[in-house]
Amino acid sequence: MALTVETKVWEKDWRFILKQGSIKKVMLGLGRSATKRLLLINNVDRPTEVARYADQLIHDGILDDYVFVDDYASAALNFFKISKEDLGKGYYYSIAELVSIYLCETDYLAHFSGDTIAQDSMPADWLNTAVELLQEREDVSVVNLAWDSKFSEVDKDAIFLEESFAYGYGFSDQMYVIRSAEFKDHIYSYSHPESDRYPKYGGELFEKRVDSWMRVENRLRATSRKWAYQHSNFPTWNSLKGILWRSLNQY
C-alpha cells in the first residue's frame, strides 16, 4: 500500500501548524506509517520564512517534503482542464487540493486541512482500514472520519449502515482518503442541484465539484461510525484568542 498523507498551510494558519507544532498530530499520529508525508504551502506572505520551518520539520523526521502550490497551479489546472475563472471565488479554496492530486505519486492520498485533527484515541492503523475499504469496494470513492464527532448526524445522512461505516453521498475537503488515479480523471465539470448547498462565497470550489460528480455517477462516501476528526478555525496569531490557544495547545 503506497499512501501519501498531506496537510496544507496558508498565511492565516501556518504559524499554528508549523511553529506551534499542530502538524505533528497529523504526521506523527495517523500519518506515521505513510509512504510520504507532504506539506502544501499556499498564499503566504514570507515564503522563505515558512520554508525554513518546513525544512526543520523534514530534518526532524516529521515531513518528507513540501511544495509551494503556486509553483504547480497552472500545470494542475491545465491537467484537469479547469481555468481559474471556472473556479471563480473557489480558486483559493480549491487549488491546493487540485495541485496535491496532480502531484500525487502514490496509489492513495489522505488529506487533512490544516485546522483538522483526528482523535487522539484513534487506532494507528485506521488509514490502512480506509485504504482496504477502497480496495474492497469499487462503489466507494471516498473514506473519511466523522466530522466533529457528530455520529448521529453521520447515520442520519447515510443511505445504509454497516457496523464500522455509514455509506452515502457527500464530500468535504476537511478530510478525505481517496484513490489518486480516480481523482486524477476529468471529474471536475459535473453539476448537481444538491451540490448548491455549499456556501456561495466558495464559488464553484473543489469540494462542490467532487460532490456533484459523486452524485451524478453514484459514487459513495464511507464515513466512520467509530472515529472522528475535530475541525476548528485558528484565531489570529497575535490576538488574545491566539495567545490563549497557544498556551493551551503545546505539542
Domain layout of the chain by residue ranges: 3-248
pLDDT tens per residue, the chain (251 residues)?
799 999 999 998 999 899 888 899 899 988 888 999 999 999 999 999 999 999 999 999 999 999 999 999 999 999 999 999 999 999 999 999 999 999 999 999 999 998 888 888 888 899 999 999 999 999 999 999 999 999 999 999 999 999 999 999 999 999 999 999 999 999 999 999 999 999 888 899 999 999 999 999 999 999 999 999 988 765 565 665 555 555 656 55
SS3 104: coil
Residue 154 CA from chain centroid, whole number: 18
Model pLDDT, residue 124? 86
Q: Which stretches of 93-174 are assigned E, i.e. beta strand?
A: 108-112, 116-118, 140-147, 160-161, 165-168
pLDDT at residue number 3:
97
CA distances from 11 to 14, 24, 102, 169, 217 (A): 6, 19, 23, 32, 36
Q: Cα(105)–Cα(138) distance, rounded to whole angstroms?
A: 21
CA neighbours closer than 13 Å in the CB half-sphere of residue 18: 27
Q: Identify whether the C-beta of residue 153 lies closer than 8 Å to the C-beta of residue 47.
A: no
- Please identify which residue in the block is written with the cell numbers 445504509: 160
CB 116 within 8 A of CB 45: no
Kindly report the pTM of this predicted structure: 0.93
**Assigned architecture for domain 3-248:** Alpha-Beta Complex (3.90)
Cα–Cα distance between 93 and 91 in angstroms, integer? Answer: 5
